[in-house]
Amino acid sequence: MEHQHVDVLIVGAGLSGISAACHLADGNPGTTYAIVERRARIGGTWDLFRYPGIRSDSDMYTFGYGFRAWHGTKVLAEGTDIRRYVQATAEEYGVTEHIRFGLRAVRADWSSDEGRWTVETLDEATGETGLWTARFLVGATGYYDYDAGHRPEFPGEERFGGTLVHPQHWPEDLDHTGKRVVVIGSGATAITLVPSLAGTAAHVTMLQRSPTYILALPADDPVSTVLRGLRVPAGLVHRVGRVRNIALQRGLYTLCRKAPRLMRAVLLGAVRARVGRSVDMRHFTPSYKPWDQRLCVVPGGDLFKALKGGGASVVTDHIETFTETGVKVGSGEEIPADIVVTATGLRLQLAGGMEMAVDGEPVVTRDRLLHKGVMLEGVPNLAMIIGYTNASWTLKADLACAYFSRLIAHMDRHGLTSATPVAAEDDRSPVSVMGESLTSGYIARGDAIMPRQGLRDPWRIWNDYYRDRRALRDSPIEDPALRFGRTAPEGRPADRKDRTPAA
């Protein structure tokens, strides 16, 4: 069994894992690190999802890294371009050589006596196991279950004579040309698939149980396009676009929460102007308030163009049963289909399903709080990189990675070997860190694994970039809720007093 030791072990080589490694490479010279990645390539989600039209659902000025500019002009980028961007970032920062591909992290155990993590890995191709030890552990796998998406069973689906596919496992040889396609769902995946398939399919029907708020944005950033035409330096164009889009994201979310009736009218009015009288607005009029669920974005209004052009249509109803040739809905209508795509959502999973324990006691993530949205309560030397649900994922991931880099540097300066967040019982609420702000189906399904929301700082998750920037980038590392300790070189606890030394 192979056994290797590093200062920091990162699990996952997607957006978050590469961010963590880049921050270590830049802010912690001399610190050794490695990334274990289950897949064969860099990219994480952007290597996994390969369905037609796969793209970001956030603008690239904020979805890209703050420390490495995204210089494209598209507001939303295609999945292949995002993966190439992440890979190029890893190569530029010398991260690629630190990645061990094909290894799944199975279990991680923290030993207080030894002051380190022991992580068991599995090479799924060969069945060989390995052991890694590390002072610090970073869970950078996001919160999606890569093995399976959410896939409800539908009445009569065994009778369907066509092809049934989930977007998470899109067959490379699936040809939809000239076929009748039904896409079940109304979220970001569905509204991406419909216009992408409509160009060559005979017809595409988006079958939704309930509508979603949809916002159309320009396909290309008009301000950046003008600035580039004026030969403004690319770095300045990126900085201007990033600052502007962070403010716009935050402003839109805040307005939706504080003035939901006004923003409902604004959002629905924008859709009505796009679709005209050819499309029934009941298909785009949700029953909930704006941002109770994630707002979906379409570049250049491509979904609306597909609907107006007749290549696609929307049906809002529940599924009564599958038939041999299609899907029958509650109204009695049967929608003919050769291909049915179940864009029914994702399953949540933390740390890629890796089991964790502290001194032999299993860590149940649902029972824990998150310290500043980064460290798991009661678990030493662990960072869980979880991005925003109401803004670009990477905005929070970058802040979290920068904070953990600062924490490690602080501990090294003061000869500290462990940092453990400690909360009081009255710091916690019964809802999850995601359940308080959003009501989406995948949020509800993830309640069993997601940490709890805190009632006050530093345990409360605000999902506010400006507030998090102050807490994670600008505030001192010292915190009464963060307990430090020392472990002697031979593994004996030398000093476990709760204290926060001066910087």
- Quote the percentage of the chain above a pLDDT of 90: 84
Average pLDDT value for the chain: 92
| Domain annotation covers residue 296 | yes
Model confidence pLDDT, tens digit, residues 476-494: 999 999 999 987 554 444 4
Residues 333 and 422 grouped into a single domain: no
Residues 134 and 177 grouped into a single domain: no
Tell me which of 420 and 151 has the higher pLDDT. Answer: 420
Residues 189 and 310 grouped into a single domain: yes
Residue 499 has pLDDT above 60, yes or no: no
Number of domains comprising the chain: 2
Residue 502: pLDDT band (50, 70, 90) is very low
Rounded to 5°, angle at Cα 116 from 113 and 98: 165
Q: What is the pLDDT of residue 437?
A: 61
Residue 277: pLDDT band (50, 70, 90) is confident
Q: How many Cα atoms occupy the beta-carbon half-sphere of 322 within 13 Å?
A: 22
* Residue 84, amino acid: R
Residue 151 has pLDDT above 90, yes or no: no
Residues 351 and 335 grouped into a single domain: no
Domain boundary among 317, 342, 367: 342
Domain boundary among 321, 342, 363: 342
| 180 vs 202: CA distance, rounded Å | 5
Q: What is the pLDDT of residue 491?
A: 45
Helix locations, 96-185, DSSP H: none
Model confidence pLDDT, tens digit, residues 49-72: 999 999 998 999 999 999 999 988
| 49 vs 146: CA distance, rounded Å | 9
Got the DSSP string for 30-59? T--EEEEESSSSTTTHHHH--STT-B-SS-
| Domain annotation covers residue 457 | yes
CB 174 within 8 A of CB 163: yes
Least confident of 337-346, 453-462, 482-491: 482-491
SS3 of residue 336 by DSSP: strand
Strands 375-376 and 370-371, sheet pairing: antiparallel
| Domain annotation covers residue 503 | no
Residue 413: which residues within 8 A CB-CB, separation 6 or more? none
| Domain annotation covers residue 501 | no
Residues 184 and 198 grouped into a single domain: yes
Residues 244 and 231 grouped into a single domain: yes
Residues 36 and 79 grouped into a single domain: yes
| 307 vs 278: CA distance, rounded Å | 8
| Domain annotation covers residue 500 | no
Tell me which of 234 and 83 has the higher pLDDT. Answer: 83
Domain extent for 88: 2-146+347-495
Residue 378: pLDDT band (50, 70, 90) is very high
The C-alpha torsion from 264 through 143 and 441 to 366, rounded to 10°, is -110
Residues 179 and 39 grouped into a single domain: no
Residues 128 and 184 grouped into a single domain: no
**Which CATH number do you get for residue 271?**
3.50.50.60
Average pLDDT of the residues in 220-246: 92
- Quote the percentage of the chain above a pLDDT of 70: 95
Residues 169 and 289 grouped into a single domain: yes
Residue 498 has pLDDT above 50, yes or no: no
| Domain annotation covers residue 152 | no
Q: What is the pLDDT of residue 17?
A: 98
Phi (first) and psi of residue 133, to 5 degrees: -120, 145
Residues 245 and 283 grouped into a single domain: yes
Residue 495: pLDDT band (50, 70, 90) is very low
Model confidence pLDDT, tens digit, residues 81-130: 999 999 999 999 999 999 999 999 999 999 999 999 999 999 999 999 99
Residues 446 and 415 grouped into a single domain: yes
